Amino acid sequence: MAPRKPASTSSTQSKNQSLEPFRERPADTVLTTDQGIPISHTDDSLKAGLRGATLLEDFHLREKLTRFDHERIPERVVHARGSAAHGYFQVYKSLEKYTQAKFLTDPSLRTPVFVRFSTVQGSRGSADTVRDVRGFATKFYTPEGNFDLVGNNIPVFFIQDGIKFPDVVHAVKPEPHNEMPQGGSAHDSFWDFVGLVPETAHMIMWVMSDRAIPRSYRMMEGFGVHTFRLINAQGKSHLVKFHWKPLLGTHALVWDEAQKIAGKDPDFHRRDLWEAIEAGDFPEYELGLQIVSEEDAQKYGFDLLDATKLLPEEQVPVQRVGKLVLDRNPDNFFAETEQVAYCVSNVVPGIDFTNDPLMQARLFSYLDTQLTRLGGPNFAEIPINRPVAPVHNHQQDGFHRDTINTGRANYHPNSLGGGCPFLANPQQAFKHHPERLEGNKVRQRSESFNDHFSQATLFYKSLSKPEQEHLIAALQFELGKCERMVVRERVVQQILANIDAELATRVAKAVGVTVPKAPKPAKASKAKNTVDKAPSLSMENTPKDSIRTRKVAALIADGFSAKELAQVKKALEAGGAILEVVGPSLSPVKSDDGTEVAPVRTFLTTHSVLYDAIYVPGGEKSVAALQLIPDAADFVREAYKHCKALGFSGAGTQLVEAAGLSKIAAAQDLASDPGVVQNAKADMKKFNALFITAIAAHRNWARQGPAPS
Ligand code: HDE
């Protein structure tokens, strides 16, 4: 197969150059059939007379309909809903001490990547903001072949052995009799499975936490989950956990907000990613590595081959070794995002697998699923899947073969083809790490996988108080949706009671389950060298020093203060935020000094849940008009409820009271709520500084009460 240029455009490449041979022709061409026959009329079919029957002979009509009829391919069995972007990865300095992989040893190399984010449970058309795990899959087009890091935004998994994957997926997917619910786990079959399978406990804590409702794909972490190996040129192996750290920090939505967004804008995360890249606000993540020597593999108090466990950063710090930048949106959703095929088995020299039984099953499953999904064994020839490394081998034929192999030598060894392709130099070739393996053939699990609760407790205990309250409320919601008492009881009594007594009691009460008489205390891990708390697990400790890419709605009507709006806009934009003007209609709105501003959205076409913060500028007339628009007050109320930053300058402060927030209307000194910035005197310098701090804080959780007890 001919070598292909990189699939991504980094700043050194011109746009689309790489896929040019596969692209449609430029705009100055004429319409043709698939056979290249020119077509001058495509609005009427060929008929026997003006009002006569359509003729079978009409090859153009038949081709058009046939192609349409077969446009769909099977959606992914999991992770069907996704969005992707091109970009590049660059390592900061050589990691040759640990690996021979070129993309990790050459700091001058920009490796093109294609990253696909996804939800797991829902279908292709499901909403983005459902409570679910998010996929974070990266294809690195390295000079030594493709490396696919197919991770999630949660560092652990539901199960320990891949043989249980069909069970957990069947349980969480819409139930088979009525195909409900779509995009969520709040139903009986999922929680039935959880109650019966205690190894799910740790993952359940993560999925019920705010991690499962990210604010943005740009603001979530990624994890390789399994323990992998790095192998250096001398053949020495280290164990490694892969992480992605978003430079914008890790932030979440509020559950009520997430549910509303699912209706107001089901494409919320897709749009957010797309718009950020179009605006040049390229999402950035650092690659983090937790490296453990083979000798230390046993010392952390749990088995590194168990994918329901994480390695706390407090035990092994994450080294940030390089940067991923997403700088180009796909040109065609189907050709790229839908047809990209990630395979966990795609590794390059210098990276290898371990015996994690979850990972081992994945090595089979991903390649296997593409055979059905992409229609045969030639899916690596689809442009988005092609390596930039040259491909030469004796594979041939099969459905959808693109390559035209020449010559007669389609076997190895051969002399008819001059011996080509030659075997690679063993120093540069992929070598499987020669791990010593020995044992009886058994269908069993290692005892070292037995502790299902310590890390579930560790995670819960490491969360901030508001995060714990959200987690309790999420469990109350999910179990509250389960119809069967036995399902609710088993989860509370067999799972939650083993994690935390108070958590179990509060969920039990809310879902009508008898509180376990003497809830079992969480089983402390007997292992040495574990930690009691891991602050790195809480999003509370994420960086909160920037308003970059945050979206702020400015609510205006005729008579708004042009000066105040301009000053706030300038200050927010200087910090990298986006100010969107929302008005009663799309017609220009007149300010107090006669200048006009055209709103980009109206109270009808947008909603508070689609913004990070709300600003109401002064102007007596404008504020009086806003008070008469119920949706404007609703904007303010909702933002307050979702703990967002709110800013009111000049007469804008009057909208606080009008929105029914009289308690904070009285507290002009901010003492009661640093997230609500009011400045009736319109001291804009002071106002801007406080408003920016409030937006950067992401949310003022203190505003919320506890989940029901
Ligand atoms: Fe997947 N998973 N998975 N998974 N997974 C798929 O592959 C599977 C697991 C993940 O954007 C499928 O191409 C098995 C863990 C992502 O295209 C399928 C097991 C993690 C994506 C499959 C797991 C993931 C998938 C469906 C247990 C995090 C989307 C379509 C042994 C580390 C990739 C496809 C994309 C997709 C199988 C467990 C992440 C069926 C058998 C653990 C991000 O092959």
- pLDDT value for 526: 53
Q: Which atom of ligand 1 is nearest to the CA of 223?
A: 32
Residue 218 has pLDDT above 70, yes or no: yes
Centre of ligand 1 to C-alpha 111, Å, is 23
Closest CA relative to residue 216, chosen from 551, 538, 460, 475:
551
Question: Is 152 buried (19+), middle (13-18) or exposed (0-12) by CB count in 10 A?
Answer: buried
Residue 24: band (very low, low, confident or very high) from pLDDT cuts 50, 70, 90: low
Residue 484 is which amino acid? Answer: R
Residue 669 has pLDDT above 80, yes or no: no
State the sign of the Cα–Cα–Cα–Cα dihedral 613, 617, 623, 625. negative
Residue 657: band (very low, low, confident or very high) from pLDDT cuts 50, 70, 90: confident
Average pLDDT along the chain: 93
Strands 596-597 and 284-293: unpaired
- pLDDT value for 10: 41
- pLDDT value for 663: 67
Query: Around Cβ 215, how many Cβ atoms within 10 Å?
Result: 26
* Domain range 82-381, CATH class: mainly beta
Residue 667 has pLDDT above 70, yes or no: no
Phi–psi pair at 173, nearest 5 degrees: -65, 165
- pLDDT value for 705: 81
Give yes or no for residue 682 CB within 6 A of ligand 1: no
Alpha-carbon distance of 613 to 648, in angstroms, equals 11
The tokens for 615 are 């600003």
- pLDDT value for 14: 38
Centre of ligand 1 to C-alpha 487, Å, is 27
- pLDDT value for 278: 98
Measured CA to CA in angstroms, residue 97 lies from 244, 323, 582 at distances of 21, 19, 55
Q: Which residue among 16, 41, 60, 79 is the active-site one? A: 79
Strands of the sheet with 578-583, listed across from one edge: 601-602, 578-583, 551-555, 613-616, 645-649, 676-679
Q: Which residue among 86, 146, 152, 243 is the active-site one? A: 152
Query: Around Cβ 671, how many Cβ atoms within 10 Å?
Result: 7
- pLDDT value for 520: 55
Longest dimension (CA), the chain: 90
Counting ligand 1 atoms within 8 A of each CB, the residue from 202, 342, 385 with the most, and so the one to mutate, is 342
Q: Phi/psi class of residue 296: alpha, beta or left (left: φ > 0; alpha: ψ in -120 to 50)?
A: alpha
Atom 22 of ligand 1 has which residue's CA nearest to it?
366
Residue 645 has pLDDT above 60, yes or no: yes
Give yes or no for residue 135 CB within 6 A of ligand 1: yes
Alpha-carbon distance of 366 to 699, in angstroms, equals 39
- Reported as a single tens digit per residue, the pLDDT across 463-492 is 999 999 999 999 999 999 999 999 999 999
Q: Which CATH architecture has domain 551-703?
A: 3-Layer(aba) Sandwich (3.40)
- The answer to whether residues 216 and 612 touch, using CB atoms and an 8 Å cutoff, is no
Give yes or no for residue 157 CB within 6 A of ligand 1: yes
Alpha-carbon distance of 30 to 407, in angstroms, equals 36
The tokens for 272 are 């957010």
Q: Which stretch of 193-202, 232-241, 295-304, 312-321 has the lowest confidence by average pLDDT?
A: 295-304
- Residue 392 among the catalytic residues: no
Alpha-carbon distance of 276 to 577, in angstroms, equals 11
Give yes or no for residue 360 CB within 6 A of ligand 1: no
Helix, strand, or coil (residue 562): helix
Residue 707 is which amino acid? Answer: A
Centre of ligand 1 to C-alpha 130, Å, is 18
* Domain range 451-541, CATH class: mainly alpha
Section 306-317 average pLDDT: 97
- Residue 251 among the catalytic residues: no
Counting ligand 1 atoms within 8 A of each CB, the residue from 227, 337, 365 with the most, and so the one to mutate, is 365
Residue 369 has pLDDT above 90, yes or no: yes
- Reported as a single tens digit per residue, the pLDDT across 523-553 is 555 555 689 899 999 999 999 999 999 999 9
Measured CA to CA in angstroms, residue 590 lies from 562, 571, 583 at distances of 9, 22, 11
Phi–psi pair at 433, nearest 5 degrees: -60, 125
Atom 7 of ligand 1 has which residue's CA nearest to it?
366
Centre of ligand 1 to C-alpha 239, Å, is 22
Closest CA relative to residue 668, chosen from 658, 683, 653, 655:
653
- Over pLDDT 90: what percentage of the chain? 89
- Reported as a single tens digit per residue, the pLDDT across 375-430 is 999 999 999 999 999 999 999 999 999 999 999 999 999 999 999 999 999 999 99
Q: What per-residue string of b and e applies to 613-649 under the rule 16 or more CB within 10 Å gives b?
A: bbbbbbbebbbbbbbeeebbbebbebbbbbbbbbbbb
Q: Which stretch of 8-22, 231-245, 584-598 has the lowest confidence by average pLDDT?
A: 8-22
Residue 245 has pLDDT above 80, yes or no: yes
- pLDDT value for 659: 84
Q: What per-residue string of b and e applies to 378-399 under the rule 16 or more CB within 10 Å gives b?
A: bbbbbbbbbbbbebeeebeeee
Alpha-carbon distance of 545 to 249, in angstroms, equals 9
The domain segmentation of the chain, as residue ranges, is: 82-381, 451-541, 551-703
Centre of ligand 1 to C-alpha 566, Å, is 48
Section 273-296 average pLDDT: 97
Measured CA to CA in angstroms, residue 597 lies from 133, 210, 565 at distances of 41, 37, 10
Question: Is 304 buried (19+), middle (13-18) or exposed (0-12) by CB count in 10 A?
Answer: buried
Give yes or no for residue 222 CB within 6 A of ligand 1: no
The tokens for 252 are 């979440």
Centre of ligand 1 to C-alpha 340, Å, is 13
Residues 6+ apart with CB under 8 A from 203: 154, 156, 157, 158, 308
Centre of ligand 1 to C-alpha 118, Å, is 10
Helix, strand, or coil (residue 89): strand
Q: Which atom of ligand 1 is nearest to the CA of 78?
A: 26
- pLDDT value for 516: 73
Counting ligand 1 atoms within 8 A of each CB, the residue from 358, 362, 382 with the most, and so the one to mutate, is 362
Residue 707: band (very low, low, confident or very high) from pLDDT cuts 50, 70, 90: confident
Atom 43 of ligand 1 has which residue's CA nearest to it?
135
Counting ligand 1 atoms within 8 A of each CB, the residue from 73, 75, 77, 79 with the most, and so the one to mutate, is 79
State the sign of the Cα–Cα–Cα–Cα dihedral 167, 337, 379, 227. negative
